[in-house]
Structure 1
Amino acid sequence: MASQNFPWSAQTARQRAVDAFDRLQSRPAEHAAIYTKAFDPADQDLHGDPAHPLSGALISVKALFDVKGEVTTAGADVLRACEPAQEDAPAIANLRAAGAVFTGLTNMSEFAYSGLGLNPHFGTPENAVFPGCAPGGSTSGGAVSVARGLADIAIGSDTGGSLRIPAAFNGLVGFKPTQASVSLQGGCPLSDTLDSFGPMSRSVAACELAWQVMAGRDVLPVKPRLSRFIVPENFGFNEMDPAIRKGFERVVRSLQSGGADIERRKLACIEPYDQIPPWHFTSVESRAHYENFFVNQASHMDPRVHARMGRADEISAVTYRQSLNRRKAFVKVFAEELGDALLLLPTTPILPPALARLEDDAVFNSLNLLALRNPSLANIADGCSIALPFVDGGLVLSAMLIGPNGHDHQLLACAKHIEPLLADMT
């Protein structure tokens, strides 16, 4: 993979980093709340290996990753007083070794516990594509950093869509890899069962490269290759904005014109899927990690996050274990039903909501659940998934592919194949 295929190089790294940092300093209102801490290029060693294809890439890092010498806040006020990290998280260390230039720690929903990206402690970054609207979460600042040209790649986490929702809301590619492919060490967890670490960028190739480096894999890009698609008739299409439905149907027609085999049918595995509430994992497992803060510093937490953590008290240990068992069985039946096909559906059923609407708790909770609904399927299935942007009727929209566990290379190959088809729709 030649470095000239990307907009970065080891030779231009310093100047590009300085330019991005200067933009942040000179126009603070425009870039408010994107970073919890921006890194000054003057304080960094920017001499990466010029032979590595990632060398010189400007990369923002979600604030839940350990970065040596920095406090890992995970967007939470209660973690501000923690000691700085003694070493990089393994995924971050791999990026640093490859010559990545870190632009800073990006803002996020507190403890990554929201699909809309609001944060009452560090502020909420404004959507880069839909002014005045939610940026998507929980990797909110990461998405906006790339969409505003402050970074080439954003590194984040995805528990129920936290890479793919902000990618969809800001016109980017967001890749949630199979969980086991990237070490979760050195990252503040939300759900040990559902968390995955991955990238966002402007292209599938850039996401693939970042993922391979994060995972410690050889940098060997897959060749574009079309897969069969299944459009599920019994999941993901109710309560949908008409503009998203219209745009998605145009995507289907465009892919069919490009030779894609697309089957519309009901998925048998959706029936057992409906018996696995994702909140069982996020509420119980987040409480296991942050119980001290939940009990003793409730007034310093986002009240919406605190309320969602509090739902752990609604279920018993037996119920939680039953959900784990059902999820394990679902991973197997999902992979068996898909076979060599990929699911194709809208990334989210809603457009980015106006921030003013989200001041009402009931509206926030309803729209948060809708934003998370479609992408959460991949996390419960322990699969891989990618959000791909396209434009219809002047609106920036997003289509999503989901594959079974371990089918990351197939997913990326197919995404590369259809990426130019979606771009031609503009």
Structure 2
Amino acid sequence: MTSSFPWSSDRAFERLGDTFSRADNDPGAQAVFTKLLRRRGKHQAQTAPENPHSLAGAIVSIKALFDVAGETTTSGAKVLMDAPPATSDAVVIARLDKAGAVFAGLTNMSEFAYSGLGLNPHFGTPLNAVFPGCAPGGSTSGGAVGVALGLCDIAIGSDTGGSLRIPAAFNGIVGFKPTQGTVPMTGGRPLSDSLDSFGPMARSVAACELAWQVMAGTDLQPVNKRPCRLVVPANFGLSEMDPVVAAGFEHLRQRLLASGLEIVEKQLVSIDLYGQVPPWHMTSVEARAHYERCFQDRPQDFDQRVHARMARADEISAVQYRQTLNRRSEFIGAFSEEVWDDILLLPTTPILPPEIDSLKDDATFNRLNLLALRNPSLVNVADGCGIALPFEHQNCVLSAMLIAPHGRDETLLACAKAVEAALSGEA
């Protein structure tokens, strides 16, 4: 057990029992889990004291798109509820199990992970842990709420356009989207092969780092906090902000400057290339490739907003899709060369969590969903890495996002630790 983490292997069984009790009885925990893994979790908790790994005893939740042996992988979709159970664990789930993680349950999500706001008409929508009556953020909605409520220490999820970072931002926790190639995708139901990444959410950068290293199968060598130059892109991500987000972000900049961190603002030339890469070309076409039979045969069983987004694949040709992939490849190279050793600093989302009642109207839902996804999606298209960090301004929970190019995950985490320390007054 590493003392800096909030778990211990000898208390795992007791803590897991508390999680199950709260999941069963606490109204605030409703719709967090689609299924509790009672038998497996209890066995893991009982054997955790025998495991020397620093993750041993950590209560971990699993987004419902990962294969867990003996369980149906629903991906939050009604059309997959009758699919046969998985015969083995996804690669990352098996690695977490070996490292002594204690599985609490499968967590709720947007259907097929195809929304940034976290609503689900089939399994219910988890209640935002910080903003009552508001959207939990998606698509890893249940995972974020579970961490924020203290039901689990770490939530394992996916991120196609912000699906780890948006719910982290909306619930006041840390969400880390690694470079796609660092974590094996085998055994996780896809949305977009081009844009999906698997990663963790937790209450600290260090806990996310440890979970990522286990998922990636790398040596457990935590990086030391190290400041990098922070760049605020003057031509991206700062428009259409809620006033409290704008004021909070400016306050954040001043706090970080006062702590000694270097922050500059400049135009990013590569953003012009980014504007030529519509992410929906990849999500709609690639989702249809995986779920075409369900799309055609059972449209009535879909979340109709998800079905409509998948239907957009019919609007583009194979040539246009390939052209989008080519332009994306060009953008990845340009972005990596331009940003290099710097770290971008942005609001994770330009908006606060919207009230769920306001999202009944399709036009409002679509507008706010796109706004929530706007800033985080840059990282996925760039095949980079990004992390959402919570902070408070005038008693409002907000979130800042750090972004690094492809493969700079350790640099990003080292810088995130420095920013985290500055925000807590420990710098």
**TM tier relative to shorter chain:** over 0.9
Match of 1:307 in 2: 308
Gaps of 5+ in 2: none
Which residue in the other structure is 1:408 paired with? 409
- Unpaired segments of 5 or more residues in structure 1? none
Which amino acid counterpart does residue 18 of structure 1 have in structure 2?
G
Closer, same or farther: CA 360–424 of 1 in aligned 2, 3 Å: farther
Give the Å deviation of 1:324: 0.2
Q: Give the drift of 1:186.
A: 0.3
Looking at structure 1, the residues matched to 310 and 298 of structure 2 have their Cα atoms a distance apart, in angstroms, of 13
| Shift in Å, 1:261 | 1.6
SS of the counterpart of 1:92?
helix
Partner of 2:12: 13
| 3-state DSSP of counterpart to 1:3 | coil
Offset, 1:418? 1.0
Cα offset for 1:226? 0.2
Partner of 2:72: 71
Give the equivalent residue in structure 2 for 1:25. 24
Per-residue deviation at 1:105? 0.1
Report 1:24-63 matches (<5 A).
24-27=23-26, 29-40=27-38, 44-46=43-45, 47-48=47-48, 49-63=50-64
Q: Distance in 1 between matches of 2:279 and 2:43?
A: 40
Q: How far is the alpha carbon of 1:69 from its aligned partner?
A: 0.7
The one-letter code matched in structure 2 to 1:22 is: S
What CA distance in whole angstroms lies between the structure 2 residues aligned with 1:357 and 1:398? Answer: 22
Q: Is the 8 A contact 1:334 1:381 kept in 2?
A: yes
How many residue pairs get aligned? The number is 423
CA RMSD of aligned residues (A): 1.1
- TM-score, normalisation: structure 1: 0.98
TM-score under structure 2 normalisation? Answer: 0.98
Segment drifting more, 414-423 vs 117-126 = 414-423
- Pairs within 5 Å for 1:356-375: 356-375=357-376
User: Structure 1: which amino acid aligns with 2:218?
Assistant: R
Name the SS for the 1:230 alignment partner: strand
Distance across 2 between alignment mates of 1:233 and 1:312: 33
What amino acid is the match of 1:24? A
Residue 329 of structure 1, CA deviation: 0.7
SS for the counterpart of 1:386 is strand
Aligned to 1:194: 195
Corresponding residue number in structure 2 for 1:394: 395
Q: Match for 2:395: what amino acid?
A: G
**Which residue is 1:246 aligned to?**
247
**Residue deviations 1:154-198 (CA, integer Å, cap 9, x gap):** 000000000000000000000000000000110010000000000
State the alpha-carbon separation in 2 of the partners of residues 20 and 171 from structure 1: 20
Per the TM alignment, residue 43 of structure 1 is displaced from its structure 2 partner at its CA by 5.2
Conservation of the 8 A alpha-carbon contact between 1:11 and 1:50:
no
Q: Secondary structure at the match of 1:45?
A: helix
Q: Could you tell me how far apart the structure 2 residues matched to 1:226 and 1:57 are?
A: 29
Per-residue CA deviation, residues 270-308 of structure 1 (Å, 9 max, x unaligned), is 111001000000000000000001000000000000000
Q: Secondary structure at the match of 1:206?
A: helix
Deviations 1:27-65 (A, max 9, x none): 2x3211110001225753321244210000000000000
- Are the equivalent residues in 2 in contact too, given 1:258–1:421 (CA < 8 A)? yes
CA contact (8 A) 2:299 2:307 kept: yes
How far the C-alpha of 1:25 sits from its partner, in A, is 1.8
The answer to whether residue 418 in structure 2 is matched with residue 420 in structure 1 is no
Aligned partner of residue 104 in structure 1, secondary structure: strand
Structure 1 runs of 4+ aligned residues shifted over 3 Å read none
* TM-superposed deviation, 1:251: 1.1
What's 1:334 paired with?
A: 335
1:134-172: CA deviations, max 9, x gaps?
A: 000000000001111100000000000000000000000
Q: Secondary structure at the match of 1:30?
A: helix
Q: Would the aligned equivalents of 1:3 and 1:52 in 2 still touch at CA under 8 Å?
A: no
2:380 is matched with which residue? 379
Partner of 1:173: 174
SS at match of 1:11: helix
User: Would you say the 8 A contact 1:60–1:106 is kept in 2?
Assistant: yes
Q: 1:89 is matched with which residue?
A: 90
Partners of 1:175 and 1:203 lie apart in 2 by 10
Q: Distance in 2 between matches of 1:339 and 1:304?
A: 38
Q: Secondary structure at the match of 1:133?
A: coil
1:390 alignment partner, SS class:
strand
8 Å CA contact 2:402–2:412 kept in 1: the answer is yes
**Contact 1:387 / 1:401 at 8 angstroms: preserved in 2?**
yes
Q: Secondary structure at the match of 2:131?
A: coil
User: Any idea what SS the aligned residue of 1:370 has?
Assistant: helix
Per the alignment, residue 115 of structure 1 pairs with 116
User: SS where residue 122 of structure 1 aligns?
Assistant: coil
Structure 2 residue matching 1:385: 3-state secondary structure? strand
Identity rate, percent: 62
Query: How far apart, CA to CA, are the structure 2 residues paired with 1:348 and 1:423?
Result: 21
- Given that residues 44 and 101 in structure 2 are in contact (C-alpha distance below 8 angstroms), is that contact kept between their aligned partners in structure 1? no
Q: Deviations over 1:76-112 (max 9, x none)?
A: 0000001111110000000000000000000000000
**1:13 maps to amino acid:** A
CA distance in 2, matches of 1:412, 1:295: 43
Partners of 1:125 and 1:141 within 8 A in 2: yes
Deviates more, 1:110-119 or 1:29-38: 29-38
Q: Distance in 2 between matches of 1:287 and 1:237?
A: 33
Aligned pair 1:215/2:216, yes or no? Answer: yes
SS of corresponding position for 2:28: coil
